[in-house]
Chain A
Amino acid sequence: MKVSILTFEKWHGRAPGSIGSSMIRGKWLAEAWDDAQLWSNGQYFDAIILQKVYSQLFIEDIKEPKILDLCDPDWFDAENSKCYIKQLGSMVDAITCSTQELTDFVKTFVDIPVITVPDRLNPKYFTRKREHREKAKTVVWFGYYHNAKVVLPKVLTSLKARGLKLCIVSNSPFEPAADYGVEIQNIAWSPQNAFLDLQHGDFAINPADTTSNFRFKSNNKTLISWGLGLPVADTAEEMDRFIDPAERQKEIDLRTKEINEKWDIKYSINQYKEIICQK
C-alpha cells in the first residue's frame, strides 16, 4: 500500500516549512508512516490524503481512495479558497478534520464519513526539552502575524504586572501601538530554528479569540509547546503558577505523559489506515 500525502504547501508551490498545517498534518505524518510519502508530480499511489487541496479537476480523475483533510472552514470564502465543500464532499471518500467543532460543522453539509483526526506530534522533532531551574522571566507566543495582532494586545497588561518579557516567533514583527512597558522580542519564524527559538521562553501563552473562526482552531500550539517542554498558561492563575520552575517541571512531566498517550502521530496513522481500509 502506497499512501500519498499531498499538502497545500506542495500543491501551491509554497516554500518548504512555510505552512504550519502542511507540516503537522502532512510532513510529520508522512515521515512517521512507513507506507506513506509526500506527494510529488507523477508519483504512483494506492490512496491519497489531500491536505487542504481542493482541485476538483485533479480529484475527479483519482479512482483510488481519497481523503480530503480540512483544518479551516475555507468554504466560508469559497470563491477565494476554491473549497466548494458540497461538491468536494461528493468527490472524495471521507473528510478528516483537525477538530471536533469542524467535524460537526462539516457533517451538516456532506453525506460521507467525516472523522476528527486531531493535530498530533511527531516525536522526532521533540527530543530536546526546555529545562526549568529559575523563576520565569520570558513568555513565548508563536503563530502567524495576523493572529498576533488580534490576540496579544489584551495580555500585555498581565505580563507587565508580573514583570514578564514577551518573545514572539512569527512571520512578521509584532509592534503594538502601546506595549504597556512590556519588553517585546520578535524572532522571525524559520522552519529550521523555530523550535529552538521557542525555547527562549520559560512558558508559552496561547490566548484565544472566541469571536471569530478561532472556534475551529486546533490545540496544535499547545501540543507543540508541551512537546518542547514549555507549559502553556491559559489563565492568570496559571501564569502565576508557572513563575515557579518546580511547577513548570511538574506540569511538563504530566503533559509529556499525556502526549505519549494521546497526541503521538502514530495514533493519526492508525486512524487514517482505518479510514482507507473502510473504502
Chain B
Amino acid sequence: MKLKIVCTTWQIMHWWDLFNALKDDADFYLIHNNHRCWKEEKFLAARPLPDNAHFVPYYEKGKYDLAILNVDQQVINPALGKSKLFRELNELITDIPKVIINHASPVYPEFICSPDMTKEQAQLECIKIMKDLVGDTPMVTNSYTAASDKEWGWGIPIWHGLDKDEWYDRPKEPRVFSALSPAGCDEYYNRSCMSKAGSLLKERHGHTIWWAKMNVATHESPEKYKEFLGRSLIYLDVSFRTPMNRARTEAMLSGCCVVQVKGAHDLDKFAKHNENIILVDNAPLKIADTLKTLLEDNYDECLKIGHNGRLMAEKLFNRERYRKDWLKLIKEVL
C-alpha cells in the first residue's frame, strides 16, 4: 500500500525528484499555497506533475501518513511569505509525523544585521531561531556539512538524486557557464566573487562567463537551459555555503568540467581535484586565470574531467540511492 504524504510547493526541482523517486512508494498531496504555485504554466512546462502527485485545497486530518514541509534560512524572517507558509502549515499539521527539509545553511546577514554582531554571532542567532522553529521534528539537509557543527549543527543528510537521462551531454563549446542565483542572499551565494571573476576574465583575457538569467536567457525554456548547459565545456560554482548546489550536479550529469571554489560542502566525499572536478581558491583573480588556462590550453583535459564527473554523479547522485535514503528515513519516522 502506498504512503500518503502531504506537502506544499516549494523548490520545484527537488520535489520533482522526490515524487519521481518514490513513484511506486508514495502518493503526494500538495496543498495549494499563496507563495508558489507549481500549476503555473512555466513550472508545469518544465516539470509536469507525475501521476503520484495531486493538488488539494486544504489539509484534512486523518487522510495522510506523513507531512513533509520545507524551510530555508530566510524562514527565520517572519515577514516573508515563505516563512508564513511554513509556520501556518507547521502549526496546522499536528496529528501525523512530520519531516522538514532544509536545503540551506545559516547564512542570512540581510536579516540578522546588527553593527555590533560578528558573522559568527549572526550565524549562531540564525541557528537558534531555526531550532526554535523546527523543534524536534527530523530535519533533512542536502549535505553532511550542513548537518555538521560547521553549519546547522543537526540534521539528517540526504544528498539529492537526479535522473541522469534528463540531462544532455552534447559536444562541448569552449565556454564557461554558471547558473548561480542572480539576486538575493549575496553572501550565501558568494555572488561578489562571481561578479569579480567575471570582470577579470573579460578584462584580462577577453572571455565571458555566461551567467543564467544575467547574460544568457536560459530561463526561457527548460530545453534551452539543458541544451546550453550540455554544450558548455566548463561550469563554474563559486558558492561554498550552499549545500550541494543542484545546478552543479546537473552540470556534472551534462558532462561539463566543474570548476568549484574550495570549501564547498562534502567535497571530501566525492570530489577529486583534476580528476572529476577542478577546485580553486575563493579568489577572483585565481578563478579568472584558471578559467583562461582551461579554455585556451586544456580542452581535452576538461572533457576528461567532465566525463569523470559525470560518471561520479551518476554513481552518487542518482534516483535509486535517493529513494533508498528517503525510504529509510520514512521508515524510521513512522
Q: Residues on A close to B: CB < 8 A?
A: 10-13, 40-45, 55, 57-58, 61-64
Contacts and interface: CB of A to CB of B under 8 A. Distances in A.
A61 B32 contact: yes
Interface in B52-95: 55-60, 81, 84-85, 88-89, 92-93
B34 A61 contact: no
A11 B40 contact: no
B39 interface: yes
Among B34, B39, B88, B93, max chain A CB count under 10 A is at: B34
Interface of B: 8, 31-35, 37, 39-40, 55-60, 81, 84-85, 88-89, 92-93
Given A41-B34, A44-B58, A13 B81 contact: yes
Contact of B37 (A42, A58, A62, A64): A58
Contacts of A63: 57
Contacts of B58: 42-45
A55 B40 CA distance: 10
B93 A55 contact: no
Given A41-B33, A58-B32, A61-B57, 6 more contacts: A13-B81, A41-B35, A42-B92, A42-B93, A44-B58, A58-B37
B55 A13 contact: no
A6 B55 CA distance: 18
11 contacts: A12-B34, A41-B31, A41-B33, A41-B88, A44-B58, A44-B59, A44-B60, A57-B32, A58-B32, A58-B37, A61-B57
A13 B60 CA distance: 24
Contacts of B81: 13
B89 A61 contact: no
B55 to A, nearest CB: 5
A10 B35 CA distance: 10
B323 to A, nearest CB: 27
Contacts of B57: 45, 58, 61-64
The 5 closest A-B pairs by CB, nearest first: A42-B59, A57-B39, A41-B88, A13-B81, A40-B88
B34 A13 contact: yes
Contacts of B33: 41-42
B95 to A, nearest CB: 12
Contacts of A11: 34
A30 to B, nearest CB: 16
Contacts of A45: 57-58
Nearest to B32: A58
Contacts of A41: 8, 31, 33-35, 84-85, 88-89, 92
Contacts of A44: 58-60
A31 B31 CA distance: 25
B120 to A, nearest CB: 32
Contacts of B35: 13, 41
Contact of A55 (B8, B37, B85): B37
Contacts of B85: 41
Nearest to A64: B57
Contacts of A58: 32, 37, 57
Among B32, B57, B85, B92, max chain A CB count under 10 A is at: B57
A241 B92 CA distance: 55
Contacts of B39: 57
A11 B31 CA distance: 14
Contacts of B60: 44
Nearest to A56: B39
A61 B55 contact: yes
Nearest to A57: B39
A56 to B, nearest CB: 9
A63 B85 CA distance: 22
B214 to A, nearest CB: 26
A142 B31 CA distance: 39
Contacts of B55: 61
A64 B58 CA distance: 11
Contacts of B56: 61
Contacts of A40: 88, 92
A4 to B, nearest CB: 8
Contacts of B31: 41-42
Nearest to A11: B34
A57 B84 CA distance: 21
A24 to B, nearest CB: 20
Among B40, B58, B59, B84, max chain A CB count under 10 A is at: B58
Contacts of B89: 41-42
Nearest to A43: B58
A57 B40 contact: yes
A55 B84 CA distance: 19
A43 B84 CA distance: 13
A49 B316 CA distance: 49
A41 B70 CA distance: 14
A98 B59 CA distance: 31
A79 B85 CA distance: 27
B135 to A, nearest CB: 18
Among B8, B32, B85, max chain A CB count under 10 A is at: B32
Contacts of B40: 57
Nearest to B30: A61
